[in-house]
Amino acid sequence: MRVVVLVSGGGTNLQALVDAAADPAYGVQIVAVGADRDGIEGLARAERAGIPTFVVRVRDHRDRVAWDVALAEEVLAFEPDLVVGAGFMKILGAAFLTRFDGRVVNTHPALLPSFPGAHGVADALAYGVRVTGCTAHFVDAGVDTGPIIAQRTVEVRDTDTEESLHDRIKVEERAMLVEVVGRLARESWTVDGRRVRVGVAG
Ligand code: GAR
């Protein structure tokens, strides 16, 4: 399965996918890594792995729709079967999503539908939940509202800061994302309403 990964930051989730994809039995080829900004470690990780990269910045486009279209065209050029948002911090609009109908996966550092958005870890900590975690989901037109593929839990400690909690979530998140992307590649899936079944071909 050809996969394009989108990143905005450090790219540790990307690295986990790159490492997994080194084994042909994993069933995934990461054909490109795209970003919405320059100079990030996520892009450097891709370059070190010999994976093509591209950057599409919002500020270089007249509006968000033009940016969506430009990003979609860059991604389409690599003919992916699946697009994975791995710490990609922009909302993908309809102009992007219609071109990749049901084939965009995102990972989020909270147990959706709780704590969507850009501050999932801080919001969960501030709310006082005792258990949080991470969610892999298909992307729809909402903010972190698409059908859920997998989730893993992480207990909140009394001593946690946003950073310490996020670090433990990311350990689970990397393993979850590697498992999810590999299974989607090898076993296919169906989506029935909100319910995702991996291993049941559509
Ligand atoms: C991950 O925890 C990911 O879930 C989060 O950013 C981190 C990226 O880490 N994404 C979001 O919060 C999206 N709303 P990484 O760059 O080391 O993979």
Q: Where residue 29 sits, what CATH number does that domain have? A: 3.40.50.170
Distance 50 CA to ligand 1 centre (A): 22
132 domain residue, yes or no: yes
Q: Residue 118 — pLDDT band, cuts 50, 70, 90?
A: very high
| CB of residue 15 inside a 6 A radius of ligand 1 | no
For residue 41, report the phi and psi dihedrals to the nearest 5 degrees.
-65, -30
Q: Which atom of ligand 1 is nearest to the CA of 15?
A: 18
163 domain residue, yes or no: yes
104 domain residue, yes or no: yes
Q: Residue 200 — pLDDT band, cuts 50, 70, 90?
A: confident
Q: What is the pLDDT of residues 66-101, one digit of tens each?
A: 999 999 999 999 999 999 999 999 999 999 999 998
Structural domain that includes position 95: 2-190
Pick the closest to residue 19 from 54, 55, 48, 39 (CA basis): 48
Q: Which atom of ligand 1 is nearest to the CA of 144?
A: 14
Do the Cβ atoms of 106 and 85 come closer than 8 Å?
yes
- What is d(CA 95, CA 139) in angstroms, rounded to the nearest whole number? 13
Q: What is the pLDDT of residues 133-178, one digit of tens each?
A: 999 999 999 999 999 999 999 999 999 999 999 999 999 999 999 9
Mean model confidence pLDDT for the chain: 97
Q: Hey, how many other C-beta atoms are within 10 angstroms of the C-beta on 191?
A: 15
| CB of residue 13 inside a 6 A radius of ligand 1 | yes
Pick the closest to residue 32 from 84, 67, 69, 107 (CA basis): 84
198 domain residue, yes or no: no
201 domain residue, yes or no: no
| CB of residue 133 inside a 6 A radius of ligand 1 | no
Domain count, the chain: 1
Distance 180 CA to ligand 1 centre (A): 16
- What is d(CA 32, CA 47) in angstroms, rounded to the nearest whole number? 10
Distance 108 CA to ligand 1 centre (A): 6
List the residue whose alpha carbon is closest to atom 4 of ligand 1.
108
Q: Output the pTM of the full model.
A: 0.97
Q: Residue 124 — pLDDT band, cuts 50, 70, 90?
A: very high
Q: Determine the pLDDT at residue 81.
A: 98
